[in-house]
Amino acid sequence: MEQRKKVQKKICDLGKDVLSKINTGKSPFIEIPIRSLSNVVWDEKKGLLKLGENKSKRYFFNVGMARKFMQTFLVASFCNDIVKENIHASIRDMYYNLKRTLGDTHENTFEDQEESNPLIVDLETSLEVLREQLHLIADRKGVVAGNVKIRDRGDLINWSKLGSGGWSIPSTVENIKFEKVNAKFILVIEKNAGFERLHEDRFWKKYNCILVGTGGQAARGTRRLIKRLNQEFKLPVYVLTDSDSYGWYIYSVIKSGSMALAHASEQLGTPSARFIGLTISDIADYNLEKSVIKATDRDIKRAKELLTYPWFDHKEWKREIKLMIQKKIKAEIEALSSRGLKFLSEVYLPEKLKKKEFLP
Amino acid sequence: MEQRKKVQKKICDLGKDVLSKINTGKSPFIEIPIRSLSNVVWDEKKGLLKLGENKSKRYFFNVGMARKFMQTFLVASFCNDIVKENIHASIRDMYYNLKRTLGDTHENTFEDQEESNPLIVDLETSLEVLREQLHLIADRKGVVAGNVKIRDRGDLINWSKLGSGGWSIPSTVENIKFEKVNAKFILVIEKNAGFERLHEDRFWKKYNCILVGTGGQAARGTRRLIKRLNQEFKLPVYVLTDSDSYGWYIYSVIKSGSMALAHASEQLGTPSARFIGLTISDIADYNLEKSVIKATDRDIKRAKELLTYPWFDHKEWKREIKLMIQKKIKAEIEALSSRGLKFLSEVYLPEKLKKKEFLP
């Protein structure tokens, strides 16, 4: 409730600011942080990718900017309405809802979604709110299980009593209230099948943890949920991915944010997250040589890119990435199944947790 | 429990049959239904795509078949083990688990997953069981909400008390026990965002239905869940997709099965399912002209293919498909948001349900 009012106030202030500029005879404009790569900076202290200070001004009395200016306010007004009404919409719903022909002209408010999508990020950055706080939902993905009780839309939900299914993480987790959190850490696993295996073995129960399956690159809702649990309950986060440049990048996005969403890193990134595996060293350590896959040129190219990212600038990571490039190999989480289907839950993870063998 | 024993018996019988052939001095073989398109038939009476009668024999004493013969039994033995142990594995887990070098040779059991995947379907068809009954899990996708209580792995789960999240449908729904089903019909929606919109508006509560979101093409677990609810509780199924050849095909797969999984149609298809929308006619009927999208050449090509499928051989469908081809247009579910965000839940669906305006 409180939060909705804050967001509405921010939107209204944006409008009032433009109105006051008009009243004083000035050309109205809004300031929007620049989101190109040149303005993405690595905040080493916080361990997060963030937007820099550069901003651009969008003027109303400018032939090249007037259309976008008008569109920005259509989007802002739409968000104000749905926040007020307390309903949510997808960005596609918004596009269709706002698309129309203006007055007696042949001018459409929007021609396609490519026009409306970036404006949402413009508003996120200039108002310093998350898209979810503007009540615009992103695609849901991700599932969770563990000894946790939450309250959501009035329902009391017990994450330990959902059978084989788990709780499907919605795109917006802002309004979830954690009623009881009984866990020592959070284990995030990139693969759905791995989640199901660990869930079936009741790993979360035996090791008193919260098990999160991301199903590939983690969705915004899933990243925000991890962040909230980490922050509000001081739970360590351990991430398990394939042993290759793409898996490692999935980890780094959960930890430090992404370049495309650098403006939202503070809300979505969990800088204290640690990497539990798989590493290239694991291949020899756990006798997985028979299960390695030859790395493609694309894998190697991506690995070389990781070497240039400051957030992978740790000797442990450099060692693993270089090993991958040098040996031209990679491995999947499922490679551990060559040692037995329960090897992951009964040997690999317990050993790593016991030895605290994590990468930064 | 009963079911697991049945599956184990089928696997053992396959082994015994081969053994008895060896004992009588015959070259051992197994018979496997042919799965190429030429052997996929349309069962008009049942309203399902099915495999025809053609079978091929796989011999052990045949240079071209011996490797595959051996692999088939490795897979069968693996499945027998996990069914006995009552654990589940992904098909990738299985591949890694079975991959090894044979004795003193340089021969690997499998070179890659492309070798092991088709053998699972061979077993499904020749044993007449579902992959899920062999305890091999497929990727999970799909979410459900409604006035239903189920028991799964000992937990009692109430689908009406899961907040904004809904229940994430697992890949295997065979062992779910329906404790209480209070619903008049099942509404299946192709889009996640549409599911969230309807879920937020508590559509399932107002209209006493079960709401299923498939997130694109429905996963096996989701199709099986729909089928079980339809069959065991005589619930009508209505499917809502985009108005285009791909959306309509998603509907037809839920209803009649797919060519690739023709052997599993009896378990996965729901022939009594009806199509609630969107149709091309809806565009004019609901003033959505401003929200249509130009159909691409690929869309049109796909639409022309649908016209050749016997399961679309209904005058209502031919009319809609021809309208699409002729007008070269399509529309998304979200187009209804141009009439207001709650138009779908408060006007469109209630009207269609009241008028019983369904396509066959």
Q: Tell whether A294 is within 8 A of chain B (Cβ).
A: no
Query: What pLDDT was estimated at residue A1?
Result: 56
Nearest CA to B295 out of B245, B359, B240 is that of: B245
Nearest CA to B281 out of B326, B249, B239, B251 is that of: B326
Q: Tell whether B152 is within 8 A of chain A (Cβ).
A: yes
DSSP alpha helix (H) spans, A133-219:
192-200, 203-206
Q: How far is CA B327 from CA A100, B217, B276, B281, in A?
A: 21, 25, 21, 11
Query: What average pLDDT score do residues B333-350 get?
Result: 96
Cβ distance B167 to A169 less than 8 Å, yes or no, reads no
Please, which pLDDT band fits residue B1 given cuts at 50, 70 and 90? low
What DSSP designation does A144 have? E
Q: Which residues of A touch B178 (CB under 8 A)?
A: none
Distance from CA of B78 to the nearest CA of A (A): 11
Pick from B164, B196, B337: which is nearest to A152 by CB?
B164
Residue A289: which residues within 8 A CB-CB, separation 6 or more? A283
Cβ distance A337 to B82 less than 8 Å, yes or no, reads no
Cα Rg of chain B, angstroms: 23
Q: Tell whether B149 is within 8 A of chain A (Cβ).
A: no
- Best of B141, B148, B196 to disrupt the A interface (most A CBs within 10 Å) is B196
Q: Which residues of B touch A341 (CB under 8 A)?
A: 82, 87, 89, 93, 97
Whole-angstrom distance, CA of residue A175 vs CA of residue B202:
17
Pick from A101, A170, A336: which is nearest to B164 by CB?
A170
Q: Please give the residue of chain A at the shortest CA–CA distance from B85.
A: A341
Please, which pLDDT band fits residue B177 given cuts at 50, 70 and 90? very high
Q: Tell whether B176 is within 8 A of chain A (Cβ).
A: yes
E-strand ranges in chain A read: 29-33, 40-43, 48-51, 55-59, 89-90, 136-137, 143-145, 148-152, 155-158, 167-168, 177-181, 185-189, 209-213, 237-240, 274-277, 293-294, 329-330
- The dotted CATH code for B2-137 is 1.10.10.10
Q: Tell whether B67 is within 8 A of chain A (Cβ).
A: no
Distance from CA of B46 to the nearest CA of A (A): 31
In chain A the first and final C-alpha atoms are separated, in Å, by 38
Q: Tell whether A202 is within 8 A of chain B (Cβ).
A: no
Q: Which residues of A touch B341 (CB under 8 A)?
A: 82, 87, 89, 93, 97
Q: Tell whether B286 is within 8 A of chain A (Cβ).
A: no
Q: Is the pLDDT of residue B320 over 90?
A: yes
Q: Which amino acid is at B341?
A: L
- Sorted by where each begins, the domain ranges of chain B are 2-137, 143-355
Q: Tell whether A292 is within 8 A of chain B (Cβ).
A: no
Complex-level ipTM: 0.88
Distance from CA of B147 to the nearest CA of A (A): 13
Q: List, as ranges, residues 7-46 from A with C-beta within 8 Å of B.
A: none
Q: Tell whether A107 is within 8 A of chain B (Cβ).
A: no
Residues in chain B, how many? 360
Q: Which residues of A touch B101 (CB under 8 A)?
A: 290
Pick from B93, B153, B335: which is nearest to A197 by CB?
B93
Catalytic residue list of B = 96
Q: Tell whether B196 is within 8 A of chain A (Cβ).
A: yes
Q: Tell whether B111 is within 8 A of chain A (Cβ).
A: no
Q: Which residues of B touch A90 (CB under 8 A)?
A: 193, 196-197, 334
Cβ distance A337 to B89 less than 8 Å, yes or no, reads yes
* Bigger pLDDT: A170 vs B332: B332
Distance from CA of A348 to the nearest CA of B (A): 15
Q: Which residues of B touch A175 (CB under 8 A)?
A: 164
Cβ distance B164 to A172 less than 8 Å, yes or no, reads yes
Q: Which residues of A touch B93 (CB under 8 A)?
A: 193, 197, 334, 337, 341
Considering chain B, what is the average pLDDT of its residues?
94
Q: List, as ranges, residues 238-257 from A with C-beta within 8 Å of B.
A: none
Whole-angstrom distance, CA of residue B296 vs CA of residue A121:
29
Distance from CA of A335 to the nearest CA of B (A): 6
Which of the residues A96, A238, A309, A348 is marked catalytic?
A96
Three-class SS state of A293: strand
Pick from A143, A153, A161: which is nearest to B157 by CB?
A161
Tell me phi and psi for residue B100, to 5 degrees. -165, 170
Pick from B89, B170, B338: which is nearest to A99 by CB?
B338
Whole-angstrom distance, CA of residue A291 vs CA of residue A335:
6
Please, which pLDDT band fits residue B140 given cuts at 50, 70 and 90? confident
Nearest CA to B259 out of B18, B116, B6, B49 is that of: B49
Q: Tell whether B341 is within 8 A of chain A (Cβ).
A: yes
Q: Which residues of A touch B332 (CB under 8 A)?
A: 92, 96
Q: Which residues of B touch A336 (CB under 8 A)?
A: 96
The answer to whether B238 touches B190, Cβ cutoff 8 Å, is: no
Q: Which residues of chain A have pLDDT under 70?
A: 1
Query: What pLDDT was estimated at residue A62?
Result: 87
Pick from B167, B171, B200: which is nearest to A88 by CB?
B200
Cβ distance A89 to B197 less than 8 Å, yes or no, reads yes
Give me the helix-helix angle, B66-85 and B2-23, nearest 10°: 150
Q: Which residues of B touch A196 (CB under 8 A)?
A: 88, 90, 137, 140, 170-171
Q: Please give the residue of chain A at the shortest CA–CA distance from B221.
A: A165
Output the pTM of the full model: 0.91
Domain B143-355 has CATH 3.40.50.720: no
pLDDT digits (tens, 9 = 90+) for A219-247: 999 999 999 999 999 999 999 999 999 99
